[in-house]
Amino acid sequence: MALAAELAEDFATRAGEHDRANSFPVENVDKMKAAGYTALVIPEKHGGLGADLEDFALCQEQLGQGCAATTIAINMHLFGIGSMVERATGRPQEQLFFDAVARGHQILGGGISEPETGGDWGYFATRARRDGETYVLNGRKTFTSLSPVIDLFMVMATIEGSNPPASATFVVPRGTPGFELIETWDAMGMRATASHDLVIKDVRVPAIAMAESRPIGPVNDQAISLFAWFGISVAATYTGVAIAALKFAKESAGRLKPLTQPRTIKYLPGIQFAVAEAEALIAQSRALYLGVACAVSRRRARLRSRS
């Protein structure tokens, strides 16, 4: 929490500039790497900070008060890793992966969302075709946050010809031929996330690049874990933005004194009621996602104790 607060204070000094210029805050990512924040959810034995789901939510809430775009962007790197750590079985390749991300400062990214599907879980317009000892990937992903600094792209694709139908996640290094980032991101808000489109054209990867495969169908435990880490951390990030916005509004109300008023507008009943309502809404939001995070962590602990 102290680290997140320190980073937030620094990021806040540049947040407005990056928003106006629609520029990506590379320096913020460099600072997070140096401080270990990009390995926040990785166990300490692999060089990470060992945050669990509740810690992660609280840290993202704090970081979001400094720079919303940086926080939501790094969230797209961290939530998937947190789910991987939670579901890890101790396989050697998992340990090597966690070491690479933590000690090697690797950044993960990619995309679930697509123009055709909107990111429906398990079925993707992006396709993976087996060709001997390789797979050939084709498709287009949207919302590729962190795109300027991603080292490893996580590409979710439907496997052609699989029986029963299945999809998989492929880990593809930056610079692999056939990848092209199209700078489409110029939104009204969160401009500095650089959530551009990723075009995947005849990208050939070895079969070992397939990290996970799953049947297409109902959401399973793997998906529940992934969405828990995603939904809770995104809620925390945006609540952090709301906390900062309310703080700004209260400070502004404490400075503004109309000529016709004896005191600043923070003493007006309408302002006080609005602030009180906002405080209550923020408290409700925090209670919801922190309560869910606690419940998820307890459930996972029970499952581990039985196994």
**Is the separation of the CB atoms in 50 and 43 below 8 Å?**
yes
pTM: 0.94
Q: Per-residue pLDDT tens for 15-56?
A: 999 999 999 999 999 999 999 999 999 999 999 999 999 999
* pLDDT at residue number 213: 86
Q: What's the token pair of residue 57?
A: 């939510």
Interatomic CA distance for residues 107 and 273, integer angstroms: 44
Question: Which residues are CB-contacts of 257 (< 8 A; sequence separation ≥ 6)?
Answer: 263, 264, 265
Q: How big is the chain by its Cα radius of gyration, in Å?
A: 21
Q: Per-residue pLDDT tens for 82-106?
A: 999 999 988 888 899 999 999 999 9
Q: Per-residue pLDDT tens for 119-169?
A: 556 789 999 999 999 999 999 999 999 999 999 999 999 999 999 999 999
Q: What's the token pair of residue 291?
A: 């309560």
* pLDDT at residue number 118: 62
201, HSE (Cβ side, Cα atoms, 13 Å): 6
Q: Per-residue pLDDT tens for 204-228?
A: 999 999 988 888 888 888 888 999 9
Interatomic CA distance for residues 249 and 266, integer angstroms: 10
**Is the separation of the CB atoms in 128 and 84 below 8 Å?**
no
Interatomic CA distance for residues 290 and 58, integer angstroms: 8
223, HSE (Cβ side, Cα atoms, 13 Å): 17
Strands 152-159 and 108-111: parallel
Q: Per-residue pLDDT tens for 258-300?
A: 999 999 999 999 999 999 999 999 999 999 999 999 999 898 8
The number of residues in the chain equals 307
Interatomic CA distance for residues 203 and 197, integer angstroms: 16
CB atoms near residue 190 (< 10 Å)? 18
In the chain, the percentage of residues whose pLDDT exceeds 90 is 83
